[in-house]
């Protein structure tokens, strides 16, 4: 680790302490005696998403985030809920310890999570992700959600299914 003041390569570690996701080291340059700090972090391995058509694409948090933001547009979610949601999905993916993950696996994780987070966002995401063939298939999904009304988050009113279907269909026109 090169000294930022004089460029010397050699330094001595004078203090070392663990921080959230790594180690913080206080160093003293052997040439100029200036002190500086370095951080060591574990770099999670890259994950590649295998698309339906077999193409490989590097997993990008931002891409996932923008899709989920779109689904959650104007939904009454607490601040930070979407970021936390993405954090959890990312953590799940890295925990798998695999370098390649099918896009359907990620899609399913998102669907499961959104179902708990917000029903409208779930339906919006599902209508794009599952590419509902027609309004009948969409209505079926909405009805099955309505049947599971007991799992509606406490702070969220459930809407009549026709209203949900209209809001989705309206967006796609
Ligand atoms: Zn130095």
> Residue with structure tokens 């080291």?
25
Distance from the alpha carbon of residue 22 to the mean position of ligand 1, in angstroms = 24
Q: What is the pLDDT of residues 53-72, one digit of tens each?
A: 999 999 988 888 998 999 99
Q: What confidence score (pLDDT) does residue 165 get?
A: 54
For residue 43, what pLDDT is reported?
Answer: 65
**85 CB-near residues (< 8 Å, 6+ apart):** 68, 113, 114, 117
The closest alpha carbon to 109, from 74, 144, 99, 95, belongs to 95
CB within 8 A of 115, min separation 6: which ones?
Answer: 122, 145, 151
Largest CA distance in the chain: 75
Ligand 1 centroid – CA 37 distance (Å): 12
Mapped onto helix, strand or coil, the DSSP state of residue 38 is strand
Q: How close is the Cα of 101 to the center of ligand 1, in Å?
A: 45
- How many Cβ atoms from other residues are within 10 Å of residue 62's Cβ? 8
More confident residue, 144 or 23: 23
Cα angle, residue 97 at apex, residues 94 and 101 outer, rounded to 5°: 75
Q: 10 alpha carbon to ligand 1 midpoint, in Å? A: 8
Calculate how far, in angstroms, residue 36's C-alpha sits from the geometric centre of ligand 1.
Answer: 9
CA of 5 to the centre of ligand 1 (A): 5
- Tokens 């990312």, residue located: 90
Q: 31 alpha carbon to ligand 1 midpoint, in Å?
A: 5
C-alpha span between 85 and 76 (Å, rounded):
15
Q: Is the pTM of this model over 0.75?
A: no
pLDDT at 5: 94
**Of residues 135 and 169, which shows the higher confidence score?**
135
pLDDT at 22 exceeding the cut of 90: no
Instruction: Please tell me the distance between residue 161's alpha carbon and the centre of ligand 1 in angstroms.
Output: 68
Cα separation, 108 vs 75, whole angstroms: 21
The DSSP result for 39-52, as a single string, is: EEE--PPP-EEE-T
User: For the segment 79-106, what is each residue's pLDDT rounded down to a tens digit?
Assistant: 889 988 998 898 888 888 889 999 989 9
Q: What is the mean pLDDT of residues 161-169?
A: 53
Given a contact cutoff of 8 angstroms between Cβ atoms, the answer to whether 90 and 79 are in contact is no
CA of 6 to the centre of ligand 1 (A): 4
């Amino acid at each position: 680790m090169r000294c930022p003041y004089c460029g010397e390569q050699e330094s001595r570690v004078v203090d070392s302490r663990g921080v959230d996701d790594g180690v913080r080291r206080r160093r003293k340059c052997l040439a100029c005696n200036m002190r500086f700090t370095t951080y060591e972090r574990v770099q999670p391995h890259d994950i590649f998403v295998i698309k339906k058509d077999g193409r490989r694409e590097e997993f990008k948090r931002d891409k996932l985030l923008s899709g989920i933001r779109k689904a959650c547009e104007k939904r009454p979610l607490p601040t930070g809920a979407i970021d936390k949601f993405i954090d959890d999905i990312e953590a799940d993916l890295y925990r798998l310890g695999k370098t390649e993950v099918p896009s359907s696996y990620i899609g399913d994780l998102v669907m499961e999570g959104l179902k708990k987070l917000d029903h409208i966002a779930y339906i919006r995401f599902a209508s794009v992700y599952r590419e509902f063939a027609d309004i009948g298939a969409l209505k079926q999904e909405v009805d099955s959600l309505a049947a599971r009304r007991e799992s509606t988050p406490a702070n969220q009113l459930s809407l009549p299914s026709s209203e949900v279907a209209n809001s989705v269909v309206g967006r796609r026109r």
